[in-house]
Chains A and B, each alone.
Chain A
Amino acid sequence: MKLRTLALASLLVCGIASGATAATTSAAASSGALPTDSLYHSETHWQDMNNQSVLLPTLQGKVQLVAFVYTHCVSMCPVIVADLQRVEAMLTDTERQQVHFTLISLDPERDLPETMLAFMQTHKLDTEHWQFMRGNDDDTRELAMLFNIRYRQEGEEIVHSNTISVLDGSGRLIHQRLGAGGLDAVMTAIRQQLRH
């Protein structure tokens, strides 16, 4: 009896002492069926331009084109977005329904949901086929690492890899375009997936 009380007491003490150890909730509910090398295993949390919460496993199903950009970017990002739009223009209507474009902010501090939405409107990116999202610094760094994207703050600018990535329907990285050009290879990668 005494022992039981003691156990209970130590449980209580523990509860108080351990503070906030977050339960490891996960997107596991929907990530169970993912292949081992799916990037959607990354348990990162995102917020999109409509202030909606996004978990990566929910991106399953469509071929995803992913690029890391930020709205204050003057040099490289507009070029990356224009390239993605060129890809979109090359898709047939049927293909376009099976492809989705995801932009990830490298500047979550300044890219608020309304900022991301305004950027999409400025560049005429429709919210049916495109999304723009941000996460906290840790999560942004994690996803960038999984995509082999390197970036760092340099004064007002963020120096970053100029990369377009193609993921298959289950989140496997099937193609990366590094540097300029290379849109034909991106198209080939997309069409190979859609034929599967």
Chain B
Amino acid sequence: MTHTDLRRIIALLAALCTGALLAAERVSIPAGEYRPLFASATAAKQQVAGFQLDRLPVSNQQFATFVSKAVRWQPERINPLFADEHYLQHWQKNATTVAAPRPEELQAPVTNVSWFAAKAYCQAQGGRLPTTAEWEYVASAGSVDPQADEKLILGWYSATTPAFMPAAGQRAANAFGVHDLHGLIWEWTQDFSASMTTGESRGDSALDNQFFCGSAAAGSADPSQYAAFMRYALRSSLQGRYTVANLGFRCAYSPSSLNAIETTP
């Protein structure tokens, strides 16, 4: 082993360390309540228990570190059950034909990831995906300037996705100390599919009415929550295999008796 090799290894280790340290940046979110979109103003608020959430969305670099160990999630090996054909398509193939993120996108949020891949990443970190309730609860906390928040959100929702995704963490954190819930990417939630209408439950027709009839505005807790409606609509249109150029994720952590089910071998 030459000194150059050693230096390379050290540089790599340092890079890995940085990634690992960043990954450990979790924000403790206190328990609270939030009113789900389309719950009428008289409906009970949804309780959210205390949990931890990544301060930033998961970056390309962090995800690359993960797939270097969990090879089944590499774009070359992914099973089509778990991701569509656009999975990690923004990564570049190098000489060894293994795709890796572009250097300028290492700190940018990873996108083009399926729900299954996002879930696997979070489980490998000892976490899970946040529920829609948790995500919306944290995202409902604005910064110091609610009007600027709304402007940012709606401005971004109507913008096109940039050619290169900017790095995460450049905007101010929200009141919880969490960054980039708005304005950079959409994010997967654990139960995104729960918002789908199944067309076979008694509750659905009412929900549909709330959505698509004139009663929508009347029934909704806050008619100005257009942004939340956009997120709801996106979640309803997704499937677990789908990958989208501006859809990424972050992980949540909470001590749950079910996160590690004890069994007798």
Please list the residues of chain A having a beta carbon within 8 angstroms of any beta carbon in chain B. 3-4, 6-7, 10-11, 13-14, 17-24, 26, 28, 36-37, 39, 41-43, 45, 47, 51-53, 108-109, 134-138, 141-142, 144-146, 150-154, 159-162, 179
Contact = CB atoms under 8 A, between A and B. Distances in A.
Interface stretch (B5-13, B157-165, B175-183, B223-231): B5-13
Given A14-B16, A26-B72, A150-B198, A141 B261 contact: no
Contacts of A146: 81, 240
21 contacts: A7-B9, A7-B10, A13-B17, A14-B13, A17-B17, A19-B23, A19-B125, A20-B126, A21-B124, A21-B125, A23-B69, A24-B69, A28-B72, A36-B79, A36-B80, A41-B81, A136-B258, A137-B190, A138-B128, A145-B193, A154-B201
A110 B203 CA distance: 23
A120 B24 CA distance: 43
A18 B20 contact: yes
Interface in B127-147: 128-129, 131
A22 B200 contact: no
B79 A145 contact: no
Contacts of A162: 200
A24 B201 contact: no
A36 B78 CA distance: 10
Contacts, number: 136
Question: Interface range on chain B: under 10, 10 to 19, 20 to 34, or 35 or more?
Answer: 35 or more
Contacts of B116: 142, 145
Given A3-B6, A21-B125, A45-B261, A145 B240 contact: yes
B200 A3 contact: no
A39 B80 CA distance: 11
Nearest to A23: B69
Q: Which of A6, A21, A51 has the most C-beta atoms of chain B within 10 angstroms of its own C-beta? A: A21
B227 to A, nearest CB: 22
A151 B263 contact: no
B191 A152 contact: yes
A51 to B, nearest CB: 5
Contacts of B14: 10
B10 to A, nearest CB: 5
Nearest to B189: A141
A152 B195 contact: yes
B210 interface: no
Interface in B225-252: 239-240
Given A10-B14, A17-B21, A47-B261, A161 B72 contact: no
A161 to B, nearest CB: 6
Given A21-B125, A22-B123, A141-B190, A37 B265 contact: no
A133 B128 CA distance: 20
A152 B13 CA distance: 43
A167 to B, nearest CB: 13
Give the interface centre of B71, B115, B126, B194 by most chain A CB atoms within 10 Å.
B194
Contact of A14 (B17, B122, B128, B258): B17
B126 A39 contact: no
B22 to A, nearest CB: 10
Contact of A159 (B10, B16, B69, B201): B201
B196 interface: yes
